Structure formats: C-alpha cells, structure tokens
C-alpha cells in the first residue's frame, strides 16, 4: 500500500506507516517479492514468562519479549523497554526500525528490540532488579556480544543495563561488558553516550541548513519534548549559535523570541521538575507552540505529533525527527507540498545507536576513547550518512524519508544476496 493510500483510521498506527514506507522503498528499488519477504520477516521472536516475588511476598508473573528482526549485517541491536502497554507487535516493529536505522548509518548491526509488560512507576527498585535479572536469564541463550546486544529504552536506564550485564556474566562465568550498551562508565560505558542522540540531531540539522542555504547562527528552533533527546539537542544547538525560541512539554510550553537561556532552563527544570514558571520566558499554549514560525522544528518526545490534521499549519524550513515516528505517513505528503525539509527519524536520531556501537567496540577492544574522539567519530558517521541519504534523493527523485528507507533496504538486501540463503 503506498503511503498516500493509508486509510485515515489507520494513520496513527506507526507500524502500518512503517510497512507502507518499506513497500514504497522496495518498489522503487525493484526488489523481488521473495527478498521482500525475507527483509520483512523477523529472524527470531522470543516470548518469556517471568515469575517474580514482590516485596509484599506475592508471586506475580510478567511477560517479556525479545525480537531479533535481522542479523544479516551483524548482531541484533536494540533497547529493552519496560511499560504496561508493551506488545509483541510493537516490539516487532521497533526491531525492524532498528535494522533500518543501523543500516542507514552503516554500522555492523542488525535490528533487535525487547520489552517487559510491567509498570515501573509502581515497582520498587528491588522488584525491578528481580524482573530484570529473571528476564535476562530467560533470554540468555539468545543474547551475547556476537549475537544480540540490548540497550536502554523507555523506562530503562544504565542501572538496568548493569543488572543485565551482571546476570549474563554470572551465567557465563566471566565478566562480559560487551553484552549490553548504555552502561555506567565504571562498567565499560562510553563517554559521550548520554548526549549522543541530541548531538546526532545537531550534526544532521547543521547539514540540512547547509543544503537549504541557511546560516546556523540565529536560526530559530522549536523543540517538542525536553527529555534526554530534547534537552541535549537544545543544549548543544544553543552552544553552536542556534536560537532556541520555544520548548514544549506535556505540562506547558515556554517562548522567548530572543532565545531561551538553555543552561538556566536546565537548572530550573532540575530544581522544579518542570519547564513551566521559568523566569526567562513567557508561557504559551502548547497546542499552538508547534506552529510557531522557525527554521528548525525538532519533535523529540513521542510518535504521531505531526499528522494530516495539523501538518498544514507547520511553519518550519527543516523538521529534525529526534523521536521515533513523530510524523505520520499521511502528513509526509503535506509537509512535502509546503517545502519542509524532513530529516527522517531513522537518520536524525541514530546518534544514540552509533555511540552504542562505539561502546561495544571499546568493550571488545578493552581500550576506551576520550570524549573528543567519540564526538569526532560520531560527527563523521552522521555527516556521511546524511550525504548518503540525500544522494539517494538526488538519484531517485524521492523524499528524504523514502530515500533513507531505500538506502537501508539496499544495504541489507545486498548483504543477504552476497551471503545467500542457507538451506
């Protein structure tokens, strides 16, 4: 189904949109049906049941998943999320996205994703540790530095990665730091990892402005979401001379036409837990802030922020997708008609997995890089990947998103053809 023919009632289903974009890219590449089936189908899907004794003595059983979408280009790579609404379909689709993301930036990983159905907000740290360790033990035969390398995702962090690493290491009877990424520095984490996704957004946005003939200095930026991606993007962009004029969060939005003082805003948020009430800005309607005139709009929080219902009101020159799936497929066509330069998510937010790759490399080498080297190598990969994507745009006459999918599918398909099908 072409992206333009997605039924309106299915617009907010990101998996339908991803499949439509896959289909369009495969059609333009001329991939045959058999190869498309291979590219679509996950290599392995694991469902596990996790019995855990809660702090009050009750026994509860949680369900966990790990999907390895592709291992053609290397070990599966992808996060583990803890959330009450995790589904196998969701994990399956996210694993596929990781395959394409790793291929776009040309790092030697396939795509994987994991999840556990639980609500971390109502669980103690001890309960989270027991869930994490039992989940790890259940999927242990299917993970490892050369097989599948988990990482943090929604509601998981470096502490949970430390528990996964320790559990795996105890079972294999040797410390194996390379089994996960996103770990604490003391356990083999990489310098520059917390800033990596935001820094990657900075690099590709800078390249987009060059292509548009716009200066970095003074370019107005609106950021939706002020978690890790949004706050780091704001901090790094402000240092480079971008003018962050607005930040939008779930509990409000703030605006300053002269640019927000991001270091002070970060202090305010740390002290109060919110961006609202910041003295250096005026409060504005968060529903309207998305439509401020700007050079760069960076949705960095959640999916389906820009849809066919509001895309016509977007007033930006460049859209940098710091979040996964912030723009629906139907909105793509509206943005294109308005001349918005979209930096698609599988390129824009790939800085995180790129530095995760660096962490894996450093763990396997047993030699760790300084932050300057991490950042230099990240910049090289992000800039080259941006150029590869726009090269497909120029060659095939497609939009940036379909170009990114074409590049990814081309790279994975080429490896599968070279390896052949084992029978």
The one catalytic residue among 77, 113, 183, 243:
113
CB 335 within 8 Å of CB 342: yes
Residue ranges of the chain with pLDDT lower than 50?
none
Can you state the angle between helices 371-396 and 88-104, rounded to 10 degrees?
A: 90
Q: Is the dihedral of CA 17, 19, 20, 21 positive or negative?
A: positive
Mark whether 395 is an active-site residue: no
Q: Do domains 42-181 and 196-348 have the same CATH topology?
A: yes
* DSSP reduced 3-state for 98: helix
For 330, the token pair is 């139907």
Cα–Cα distance for residue pair 135/235, rounded to 1 Å? 36
pLDDT reported for residue 9? 79
- The total of other beta-carbon atoms located within 10 Å of residue 95's CB is 28
Instruction: Give residue-wise pLDDT tens across range 270-314.
Output: 999 999 999 999 999 998 999 999 999 999 988 889 999 999 999
Q: 149 - beta bridge partners?
A: 77
Give the contacts of 95 (CB within 8 A, at least 6 positions apart): 42, 67, 68, 69, 76, 78, 111, 112, 113
Strand residues in 59-160 grouped as ranges (E): 59-70, 76-83, 110-117, 148-152
CB 244 within 8 Å of CB 198: no
The sheet that has 76-83: what strands, in order across it?
A: 44-53, 59-70, 110-117, 76-83, 148-152
CB 62 within 8 Å of CB 74: no
CATH class of 196-348: alpha beta
Continuous segment of H or E residues that includes residue 294: strand 294-299
* DSSP reduced 3-state for 275: coil
Tokens 């909105």 correspond to 331
- The domain made up of 42-181 has a fold known as Rossmann fold (3.40.50)
């Amino acid at each position: 189904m072409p992206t333009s023919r997605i039924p309106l009632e299915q617009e907010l289903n990101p998996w339908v949109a991803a499949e439509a974009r896959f289909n369009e890219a495969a059609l333009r590449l001329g991939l045959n049906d058999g190869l498309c089936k291979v590219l679509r189908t996950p290599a392995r899907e694991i469902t596990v049941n996790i019995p855990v004794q809660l702090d009050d003595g009750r026994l509860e059983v949680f369900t966990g998943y790990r999907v390895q979408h592709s291992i053609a280009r290397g070990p599966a790579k992808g996060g583990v999320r803890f959330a009450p609404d995790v589904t196998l379909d969701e994990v399956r689709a996210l694993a596929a996205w990781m395959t394409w993301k790793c291929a776009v930036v040309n790092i030697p990983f396939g795509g994987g994703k994991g999840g556990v159905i639980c609500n971390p907000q109502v669980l103690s740290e001890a309960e989270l540790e027991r869930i994490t360790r039992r989940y790890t033990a259940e999927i242990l035969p299917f993970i490892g530095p050369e097989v599948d390398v988990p990482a943090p995702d929604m509601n998981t962090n470096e502490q949970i990665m430390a528990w996964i690493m320790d559990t795996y290491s105890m079972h294999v009877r040797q410390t194996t730091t390379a089994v996960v990424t996103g770990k604490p520095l003391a356990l083999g984490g990489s310098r520059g990892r917390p800033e990596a996704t935001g820094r990657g957004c900075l690099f590709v946005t800078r390249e987009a402005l060059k292509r548009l003939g716009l200066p970095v200095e003074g370019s107005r930026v609106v950021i939706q979401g002020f978690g890790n991606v949004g706050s780091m993007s704001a901090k790094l962009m402000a240092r480079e001379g971008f003018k962050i004029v607005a930040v939008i969060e779930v509990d409000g939005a703030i605006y300053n036409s002269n640019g927000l003082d991001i270091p002070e805003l970060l202090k305010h948020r740390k002290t109060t837990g919110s961006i609202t009430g910041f003295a250096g800005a005026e409060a504005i309607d968060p529903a309207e802030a998305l439509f401020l005139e700007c050079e760069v709009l960076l949705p960095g929080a959640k999916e389906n922020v820009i849809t066919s219902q509001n895309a016509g009101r977007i007033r930006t020159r460049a859209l940098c997708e710091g979040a996964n799936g912030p723009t629906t497929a139907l909105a793509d066509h509206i943005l294109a008609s308005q001349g918005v330069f979209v930096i698609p998510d599988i390129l824009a937010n790939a800085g995180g997995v790129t530095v995760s790759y660096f962490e894996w490399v450093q763990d396997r080498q047993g030699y760790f890089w300084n932050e300057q080297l991490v950042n230099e190598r990240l910049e090289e990969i992000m800039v080259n990947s941006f150029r590869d994507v726009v090269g497909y745009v120029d060659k095939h006459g497609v939009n940036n998103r379909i170009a990114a999918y074409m590049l990814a599918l081309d790279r994975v398909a080429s490896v599968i053809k070279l390896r052949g099908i084992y029978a």
